[in-house]
């Protein structure tokens, strides 16, 4: 199977779907040159720096029979359009009594690692998880970036697609043939017997590195990448925890009201799974601070392989 980058995988998904259906329209302050060359400026629209404007325009386009993709850039830029996401796109199908569909893909990058300071680095997917009506996608590999983006593009509901900021050049295997990954299906990235590690987005890489090192010491980690937070494949996570008896959840967002705490709550509220726990679940999250600009301080604020290994050691007792 060929290897392409994370960014190339997403571009391929967009190109293939735009060729398949002329109703797709792309909106963003930065437009991909290959998309402009192939589909023209009528379909690939370069917008002004007004996120609330084109986030709202996407809702109007979707209600008029188009299938818009609105690239917000960094997730921090999207906060000025919260009304459009939370009060409009998420609720409009419900308020129309299901009589109209609003197929919109909002794309925004998340995560630290680029030394771009607090106003350019954040992982706010838990904020959007709290809003009924939005589907939430966190691709962690080129394989998943393409397969999940194609699914998002074909969905008839608003989807927020969260690529990771620093993974654009990450290479991985991606099929050349049609490649679609259904929402709500977690990926068991590594099978193991001692501890279940649920790792979100880029933390999958750190978790696999920790699993490799601990495996050499005789500790077997099962690494699960949820891939989509809404819908969430909680069954796969519970089944794994029932086998291992231990849970570590890794998320570079801070732990307060986080996706990590939601996963933990959904595991322990299930009586059957709770009864099989051998130790208290552990959360490995970003520090509860804005992301620092200083490279050493940024590294300190974000989870890594070593912090995951420490949490596993605590879970193992």
Signed CA dihedral, 46, 51, 55, 61: sign only: negative
Catalytic residue among 67, 120, 150, 227: 120
Place of tokens 């939601």: 262
- CB neighbours of residue 224 within 10 Å: 29
How much is the CA Rg of the chain, to the nearest whole Å? 20
Residue 317, strand partner residues: none
Distance CA 143, CA 234 (A): 22
- List, in order, residues 6 or more apart from 242 with CB less than 8 Å away: 272, 273, 276
Contacts of 259 (CB under 8 A, 6+ apart): 125, 126, 129, 200, 229, 251, 253
**Alpha-carbon distances of 189 from 32, 225, 288, 311, rounded to whole Å:** 31, 7, 28, 19
Q: Which residue from 268, 261, 267, 278 is spatially nearest to 312, judged by alpha carbons?
A: 278
What is the edge-to-edge ordering of all strands in the sheet holding 221-225?
A: 187-190, 221-225, 195-199, 247-254, 282-286
As to burial, measured by CB atoms within 10 angstroms (0-12 exposed, 13-18 middle, 19+ buried), residue 270 is: middle
Residue 143 falls in the annotated catalytic set: no
Residues annotated as catalytic are: 120
């Amino acid at each position: 199977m060929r290897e392409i980058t994370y960014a190339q995988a997403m571009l391929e998904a967009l190109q293939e779907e735009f060729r398949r259906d002329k109703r797709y329209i792309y909106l963003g302050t930065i437009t991909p040159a290959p998309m402009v060359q192939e589909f023209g400026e009528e379909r690939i629209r370069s917008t002004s720096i007004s996120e609330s404007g084109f986030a709202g325009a996407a809702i109007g386009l979707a209600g008029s029979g188009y299938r818009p993709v609105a690239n917000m850039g960094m997730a921090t830029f999207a906060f000025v359009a919260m009304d459009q996401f939370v009060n409009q796109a998420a609720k409009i199908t419900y308020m129309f009594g299901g009589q109209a569909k609003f197929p919109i893909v909002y794309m925004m990058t998340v995560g630290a690692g680029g030394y771009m300071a607090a106003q350019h680095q954040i992982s706010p997917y838990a904020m959007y998880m709290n809003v009924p009506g939005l589907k939430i996608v966190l691709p962690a590999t080129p394989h998943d970036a393409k397969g999940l983006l194609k699914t998002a593009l074909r969905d008839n509901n608003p989807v927020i697609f969260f690529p990771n900021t620093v993974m654009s050049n990450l290479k991985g295997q991606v099929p050349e043939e049609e490649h679609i990954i259904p929402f709500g299906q977690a990926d068991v990235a590594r099978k193991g017997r001692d501890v279940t590690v649920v790792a979100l987005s880029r933390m999958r890489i750190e978790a696999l590195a920790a699993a490799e090192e601990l495996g050499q010491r005789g500790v077997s980690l099962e690494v699960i990448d949820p891939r989509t937070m809404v819908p969430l494949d909680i069954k796969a996570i519970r089944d794994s925890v029932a086998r291992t008896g231990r849970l570590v959840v890794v998320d570079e967002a801070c732990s307060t009201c986080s996706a990590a705490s939601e996963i933990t709550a959904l595991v322990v509220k299930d009586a059957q799974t709770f009864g099989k726990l051998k130790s208290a679940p552990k959360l490995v999250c970003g520090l509860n601070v804005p992301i620092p600009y200083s490279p050493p301080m940024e590294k300190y604020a974000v989870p890594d392989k070593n912090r995951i290994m420490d949490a596993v050691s605590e879970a193992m007792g």
